[in-house]
Amino acid sequence: DTAVSQTPKYLVTQMGNDKSIKCEQNLGHDTMYWYKQDSKKFLKIMFSYNNKELIINETVPNRFSPKSPDKAHLNLHINSLELGDSAVYFCASSQETRSDTQYFGPGTRLTVL
Amino acid sequence: AQSVTQLDSQVPVFEEAPVELRCNYSSSVSVYLFWYVQYPNQGLQLLLKYLSGSTLVKGINGFEAEFNKSQTSFHLRKPSVHISDTAEYFCAVSEVAGGTSYGKLTFGQGTILTVHP
């Protein structure tokens, strides 16, 4: 069973489009995260949610909006996609904000043309 | 604010040789320290972590790391590498406040370990 899953694995789209990436974890964790890995492999946190509540919101354009319908899911919606949004997006989860081990999904490679 | 520097972007090594991947961090408060591994086209997997206690931490796949508070370092080592260890390795820190991690991981730039036969 996949612990943290993301869909889709690959996403190719045109500039200006709106797209969503879905993340689900079956570990029973309370906290979920979104990270962005750029072309130089640099990983940076974007958001984190704890029990559907936003707790970390880094300096991310308003075009990015996370949504957590329940604590097992954290989706990432991106409006008006730009070339610079091309990256690999990783979802992760941990037991709670006090926990120190984050479990990562396989990533979604977004390419904006 | 915390920061992490991985001193080597690429480390080539021959199979069965020892390897050390270097990591230094900067933080004004206590930290938790982690090493993650990323195999090609995969997500990140935790290798090991330091929370408290013994400064020598052992992880999966024969890796170990030593926390050195005075040098603010957390170098990763393996005495004998295998071809299958070829991957990218990321050092990360999480600040601790009052014994609670806020969960925000700050990553280094990554070190590509290439093991040659």
- pLDDT of A40 over the 80 cut: yes
**What letter would DSSP give residue A39?**
T
Banded pLDDT at A60 (limits 50, 70, 90): confident
Q: Calculate mean pLDDT across residues A73-91.
A: 95
A97 vs B103: CB contact, 8 Å cut-off? Answer: yes
- From first CA to last CA, the distance across chain B in angstroms is 41
pLDDT digits (tens, 9 = 90+) for A88-105: 999 999 987 655 789 999
Cβ atoms of residues B20 and B77 within 8 Å: yes
* pLDDT higher at B96 or A77: A77
Of A31, A45, A107, the CB nearest to B43: A107
Q: Calculate mean pLDDT across residues A45-50.
A: 88
Of A31, A100, A106, the CB nearest to B94: A100
Percent share of chain A, pLDDT over 90? 66
Q: Are strands A4-7 and A19-25 parallel, antiparallel or unpaired?
A: antiparallel
B46 vs A90: CB contact, 8 Å cut-off? Answer: no
- Residue B98 token pair: 């009052």
Between A and B, how many residue pairs show a Cβ–Cβ distance under 8 A? 61
B104 vs A106: CB contact, 8 Å cut-off? Answer: no
* pLDDT higher at B21 or A57: B21
User: Within an 8 Å CB–CB cutoff, is residue B52 touching chain A?
Assistant: no
Banded pLDDT at A108 (limits 50, 70, 90): very high
Banded pLDDT at A55 (limits 50, 70, 90): confident
Distance from CA of A53 to the nearest CA of B (A): 14
- pLDDT of B44 over the 80 cut: yes
- pLDDT of A112 over the 90 cut: yes
- Looking at residue A71, its pLDDT comes to 87
- pLDDT of B12 over the 70 cut: yes
Among B3, B1, B78, smallest CA distance to B33 is for B3
Of B34, B100, B104, the CB nearest to A45: B104
- Looking at residue B96, its pLDDT comes to 77
